[in-house]
Amino acid sequence: MPPLTFLHPIALTGLSAAALPFLIHLLNRKKLARIPFSDLTFLKEFQKERMRRIRLRQILALMLRTLAVFFVMLALARPALKGALSDVVGARANTAMAVLVDVSYSMGFRTDQGKVLDRAKERILDMSELIGKGDEVFLIPFARFPKVPDASMRDPALWNEAVKELTTSWEGTDVRTAVEAGLDLLSRSEKSHKELFVVTDGAAHGWEGFRKARAEKASEGEEAEETPEQERVSCLVVSLGEWPRDNIGVEALELPEQLFGAGRPMTLGWRVRNYGDRALKDGAALLYAGGRRVHQDLFDVASGGTAALSAQISPEHEGPLSGYVAVEEDRLPADDRRYFSVRVPGALRALFVKHRDEDVFFLRRALNPFGKESDQKGAPKGQKAAAQSRQERKELLGQGNALRPMPPRGEGIGMTITEARAERFVSEDLKQQDLVILVNVPRFSSAMVRALGEYAAQGGGVWIVLGKDVDVRFYNHTLLPELIPLTLRSPVGNAVDRSAVRSFGEMDFEHPVFKDLVEKNRMTSPRFYVTYNVDAGPEVRPVVRYRDGG
């Protein structure tokens, strides 16, 4: 018997449908009652001869129906001859074949027969015996994006080697993008026969691209249409069988949106999703940081649902801190963990860029209240204050506005402050700084504006404190476009008569500037006698608004 294989063997289960014509025939048979009638005796011989011909026609019709169903299901299973015999049986058109192989992380699912990707490799290796002389064969691994080869493979040995080297990635699946790439590749082939095979585990999320495209077409009142080239391509999804798909994964891990440091708590949040068909009760979630387990929690999650969890940790030292969140290992280990890495700050490094010494006196005191008691550098004339004890300053910080005092340097987040005059400010000053504070600076050179823009784009913080000497036109046309989509309008109020007073209104207490520092709705506002209204772009997030809505 010639060696035979089937490209879609699951369709062979449909051969059982060949029994349907027999069943229908048996169910429709009726046993007729015998009623003797002497006058019709002479017709019996004639009836026997005629019924013999009718039964023969019925049997032939039944056999034809059965064979029709049998061969239809056999054709769906895509039979193919293997080996040299396929070249002897008859002529065959040259074929361009693109095999799309899903290598997303879900193909690493472990079944009782091994990984799903190993099953896929076996099916693809069977196809190598179908490659004939003159055929063009393309192997296209895909996950989120397909990896389209530059040229086809004509050597079965190279094909087998490429298949065996396939490994899973850490990406999700987008079947639609891969199919479009495969059809585009085949459209450039001159072969008369073209075939596209999709080898995938059939995970539902991989087909979202088709559903979204269909929904978009429907919303626009259009129908998806195939090009003439696409209509000439035979497409087949290769089945890899069925297996239990129970899987729990860590879907997301959120880093804290708050100021944290050594000895200060930080909150990590994560979300666990149940991708399986059964609910999970008392699942375990573990949090590791700095090489040791620091938290454990239990959770329940319904099929297809999520569970939100969080935990607080207190870094002991400044510097890099890494760790991960994990659930108990299951058949798909790839999504059982999510990793994080943060830099725990020590003392924040701030640079004051000033126009005059007295411009930064109060800001320096506010940002570093635990500095030296005798530090009165830059105090405005007539406002030299006697140094207060550290305890007195702590009490002042804790009164009235419910500010939670920040710890002194060496006890969490402190601040190391350096200063530079605006006229001597150079790009070298930006190195190793976490924050640059521009205080009443009239203007900069264009080179410094570009340096500040690059510094902010790389994650540096820039705080602009306006004053009476600022050049509003320079800020609006040169500096602010490099930093933030915002425009200054005319100043409001007068520092002399103090007739227009503004105070805080709506505040975003969830912003990292205020979170864990100010108690919600207990902030006593300072008074502002000279302010600027601004026109901000939609991507700007206001932290505080004035009471009048400005």
Q: What is the 3-state secondary structure (H, E, C) of 440-505?
A: CCCCCCHHHHHHHHHHHHCCCEEEEECCCCCCHHHHHHHHHHHHCCEEEEEEEECCCCCCCCECEE
The pLDDT, as a whole number, for residue 222 is 65
The pLDDT, as a whole number, for residue 46 is 61
How far apart (Å, rounded) are the C-alpha atoms in residues 160 and 128? 7
The pLDDT, as a whole number, for residue 520 is 67
> Which residues, in sequence order, are CB contacts of 460 under 8 Å at separation 6+?
430, 433, 434, 435, 436
> Can you tell me whether residue 15 is helix, strand or coil?
helix
- Amino acid letter, 144: R
The pLDDT, as a whole number, for residue 141 is 94
Q: At what angle do helices 208-219 and 175-187 cross, to 10 degrees?
A: 80
The pLDDT, as a whole number, for residue 395 is 44
| 51 membership: H or E segment, kind and range | helix 44-76
The pLDDT, as a whole number, for residue 390 is 43
How far apart (Å, rounded) are the C-alpha atoms in residues 403 and 367? 13
What are the residue ranges of CATH 3.40.50.410 in the chain?
Answer: 92-238
Three-class SS string for 283-300?
EEEEEEECCEEEEEEEEE
Per-10-residue mean pLDDT of the chain, 550 residues long, equals 60 69 68 60 63 78 79 70 48 77 90 87 82 83 90 82 90 89 87 87 79 74 61 81 84 82 84 90 92 92 92 87 92 91 82 86 76 47 44 42 41 70 78 86 87 87 87 89 87 77 79 68 78 84 81
Reported in sequence order, the residue ranges of 333-421 that DSSP labels E, i.e. its strands, are 337-344, 348-354, 415-421
Tell me, rounded to whole angstroms, the distance of Cα 236 from its chain centroid.
28
Question: What CATH number matches the domain at 92-238, 3.30.70.20, 3.90.650.10, 3.40.50.410, 3.40.50.300?
Answer: 3.40.50.410
DSSP assignment string, 214-262: HHHHHHTT------HHHHTEEEEEEP--------EEEEEEE---S---T
> Can you tell me whether residue 310 is helix, strand or coil?
strand
> Which residues, in sequence order, are CB contacts of 180 under 8 Å at separation 6+?
none
Q: How many beta carbons lie within 10 A of that of residue 139, not counting itself?
A: 20
> Which residues, in sequence order, are CB contacts of 225 under 8 Å at separation 6+?
none
Structure tokens that stand for 472 in this block: 């509003």
- Amino acid letter, 442: P
Q: Is the CATH number 1.10.101 carried by domain 348-546?
A: no
- Yes or no: say if 530 and 494 are a contact pair by the CB < 8 Å rule: yes
Reported in sequence order, the residue ranges of 379-460 that DSSP labels E, i.e. its strands, are 415-421, 435-439
Q: Is the CATH number 2.60.40.10 carried by domain 248-344?
A: yes
The pLDDT, as a whole number, for residue 87 is 46
> Which residues, in sequence order, are CB contacts of 94 under 8 Å at separation 6+?
132, 134, 135, 136, 191, 192, 193
Q: What angle do CA 406, 410, 412 make, to 5 degrees?
A: 45
The pLDDT, as a whole number, for residue 325 is 95
The pLDDT, as a whole number, for residue 417 is 83
Q: Could you tell me the pTM of the whole model?
A: 0.56
How far apart (Å, rounded) are the C-alpha atoms in residues 200 and 178? 11
What are the residue ranges of CATH 2.60.40.10 in the chain?
Answer: 248-344
Reported in sequence order, the residue ranges of 37-175 that DSSP labels E, i.e. its strands, are 79-81, 95-102, 110-111, 114-115, 136-142
